[in-house]
Copies of this chain bind each other. A is one copy, B any other.
Amino acid sequence: MKEVGIIGAGGLTGKELLKLLNQHRYFVPIHITSNQYAGKKVKEVFPDLQLNKIADLKFSYHDESIPEKIPLFLATPNKESMDLVNLFYKKENRVVIDLSGSYRINNLEIFIKFYGFEHKYPEILKEKVYGLTEVYRELIRNSMFISNPGCYPTSVLIPLFYFKEFIKNAENIIIDSKSGVSGAGGRVEDAGFSFQNVYENFRAYKILKHQHEPEIAQYLIEFSDYKGNIVFTPHLLPIFRGILSTIVITWKKDFELNDDELYQKIQKATEKEPFVRLFKNPEEIELKNVQFTNYCDFAFRSRDNITVIVSAIDNLVKGAAGQALQNLNLILDYDEIEGLK
């Protein structure tokens, strides 16, 4: 058995990590922290986690000493994660999977503009590998520090990766994403996330201002050499789990995709992928097919110089804890799907 730890295990992502680790046959969480719940057992904090491996585990304070060398998941806020990566990865030389956004953006000016504080460790920034498993699998396998992707970017970059050879012909990529409340980052005390304000309601937020837009742009450009527009608009769905992204690509004049050929090709490219599923019709993509799973589902349809892609993930699994575990499996040389199927 391999011992692992979770810093910030008391939130939604931490809880999801606990659930997944319980199913893992080789990893065992031995150190989990939460200042809010320190001293309590998992089963007291999360009465629905009836899971034999973790139920009696106790939360520690963040600053309690952690057994040497055990790999850590950081499910902490951006600013905290920035410092903890320095501590755990740089100083203590551990394997670290950071689920925050603090090491995803390379450009320091863009970082400060979207995250609101200056990055203290630009040199560490360069050492991270972006944990989008399907795209950077080999880099991940050989890294000790993973910056795990945002939930929205995961839902967008995975399908676009399979279009990468064509992306240079695109002029605009217009992304309209819709997330359940667990992906939209609100705290239960925020009036904006009260039942009264979410139920039987719908709205867009952070229009042209969401920190996941530069994240999408950076990695899309990295793997596809894209030069056109990217527009990303997130919305809040009155549900708990799941992100569905509708991605419209407008191609340069005279460029047209052959949907059938491309379908064959992407099917081939994804058939060995354990967590990517290509569907025939974009109408088949729906959140209920991916909730509680580590899948990214997608499908597409074209007309003239337009292609519409629809993709879906569970924001807490493939968009956070699941992908993080997938990455740790790779790094520690376990089967990539362990704990995830």
Which residues of A come within 8 Å of B, CB atoms?
23, 47-48, 50-52, 55, 171-172, 174, 176, 178, 180-182, 188-191, 193-208, 229, 231, 233, 235, 237-242, 244, 246, 248, 250, 275, 277, 281-283, 285-295, 297, 301, 303-306, 308, 310, 337, 340-341
Cα distance A32–B171 when bound, in Å? 50
User: Among the interface residues A241, A277, A308, which one has the most CB atoms of the partner chain B within 10 A?
Assistant: A308
The interface residues of chain B lying within 8 Å CB-to-CB of A189 are 189-191, 194
The interface residues of chain B lying within 8 Å CB-to-CB of A287 are 200-203
Cα distance A242–B174 when bound, in Å? 23
Say whether B193 contacts A51, CB under 8 Å: no
Say whether B288 contacts A207, CB under 8 Å: no
Say whether B207 contacts A310, CB under 8 Å: yes
Say whether B178 contacts A306, CB under 8 Å: no
The interface residues of chain B lying within 8 Å CB-to-CB of A292 are 48
Cα distance A207–B305 when bound, in Å? 15
Q: How far is the CB of A192 from chain B (nearest CB, A)?
A: 9
Partner of A239, one of B202, B285, B286: B202
Say whether B204 contacts A283, CB under 8 Å: yes
Q: List 13 A-B contacts (CB under 8 A).
A: A47-B277, A48-B290, A50-B275, A50-B293, A174-B176, A178-B178, A188-B191, A198-B199, A201-B239, A201-B287, A203-B244, A204-B285, A205-B283
Q: Known A229-B250, A233-B246; judge A240-B48 contact (CB<8 A).
A: no
Cα distance A290–B240 when bound, in Å? 17
The interface residues of chain B lying within 8 Å CB-to-CB of A181 are 195-196
